């Protein structure tokens, strides 16, 4: 199943089954790619602190683990990873005691020398989106080549590329490369219509069974996801 369809499926589930208790997962630094050894903080921004929101992840298909269960350091609704590792690459989300879940995000940790800085969440149709190519040690304004779905878009002399007034045709896998330093992993950019804004930025009830379907980059067995009503 294409990654674009994954985001639309999750947004549809959210529309059909939002609960009153909501949370959104935020990442600091605010990006989807990290160098090995970086400090990463994940927090559940919640409407109701009594709901007991915690950070969970899925790094292999069919697994769901809680922060502190062999990874991360939990502190209430926050989870920190003092030393990110490529094995931490996966899907992350917030989940309440009742099983309600926020929208998920894909994080990638690379042992390489280049990362692409791109939006963590889907972007809104019509927005401008800036992508930046960074190395681990060199200045961040080096010339960089940007690719979409494996094809070269263009080379930017200062390492930044802006997509103006994005539409669904801009969706895809993006990566960048810097001469003599290497290339970044790929990250997907998804574009959502304006009416999805609220549901993509807040947490809504999603069946725990659905999350068992979440893979590192795609939701393959989406037929097993059934929206449920949250308990009051």
Q: What is the pLDDT of residue 9?
A: 54
pLDDT of residue 141: 86
pLDDT digits 0-9 by tens, 130-188: 999 999 987 778 999 999 999 999 999 999 999 999 999 999 999 999 999 999 999 99
Contacts of 219 (CB under 8 A, 6+ apart): 1, 6, 9, 10, 213, 225
Closest CA to 42 of 31, 205, 207: 31
CB atoms within 10 A of CB 43: 20
Distance CA 190, CA 169 (A): 10
Per-residue pLDDT band at 215 (split at 50, 70, 90): very low
pLDDT given for residue 121 in this prediction: 87
**H or E segment and range at residue 10:** helix 3-17
Quote the CA–CA distance of 107 and 97 in Å, as a whole number. 24
Per-residue DSSP letter, 142: S
Q: What does the alpha-carbon distance between residue 16 and residue 12 come to, in Å, rounded to a whole number?
A: 6
Number of helices (H), then strands (E), in the chain: 3, 19
Task: List pLDDT tens digits, range 7-19.
Answer: 555 555 444 444 4
Give pLDDT tens digits for 41-64. 999 987 666 678 999 999 987 788
- Per-residue confidence (pLDDT) for residue 43, from 0 to 100: 95
Rounded to 5 degrees, φ, ψ at 19 are -100, 170
User: What's residue 52's pLDDT?
Assistant: 86
Contact 25, 54 (CB under 8 A): no
Q: What pTM value is reported for the model? A: 0.74
> Binning pLDDT at 50, 70 and 90, where does residue 95 land?
very high
């Amino acid at each position: 199943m294409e990654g674009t369809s994954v985001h639309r499926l999750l947004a549809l589930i959210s529309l059909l089954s939002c609960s009153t208790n909501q949370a959104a997962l935020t990442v600091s630094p605010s990006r989807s790619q990290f160098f090995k050894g970086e400090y990463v903080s994940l927090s559940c921004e919640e409407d109701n602190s009594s709901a007991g929101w915690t950070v969970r992840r899925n790094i292999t298909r069919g697994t769901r683990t809680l922060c502190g269960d062999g990874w991360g350091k939990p502190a209430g609704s926050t989870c920190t990873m003092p030393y990110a590792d490529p094995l931490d690459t996966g899907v992350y989300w917030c989940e309440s005691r009742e099983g309600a879940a926020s929208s998920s995000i894909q994080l990638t940790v690379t042992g390489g020398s280049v990362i692409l800085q791109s939006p963590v969440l889907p972007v809104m149709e019509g927005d401008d989106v800036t992508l930046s190519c960074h190395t681990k040690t060199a200045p961040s304004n080096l010339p960089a080549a940007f690719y979409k779905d494996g094809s070269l878009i263009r080379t930017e002399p200062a390492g930044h590329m802006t997509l103006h007034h994005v539409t669904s045709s801009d969706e895809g896998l993006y990566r960048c490369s810097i001469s003599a330093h290497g290339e970044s992993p790929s990250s997907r950019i998804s574009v959502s219509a304006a009416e999805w804004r609220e549901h993509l930025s807040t947490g809504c009830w999603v069946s725990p069974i659905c999350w068992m379907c979440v893979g590192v980059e795609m939701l393959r067995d989406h037929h097993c996801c059934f929206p449920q009503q949250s308990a009051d």
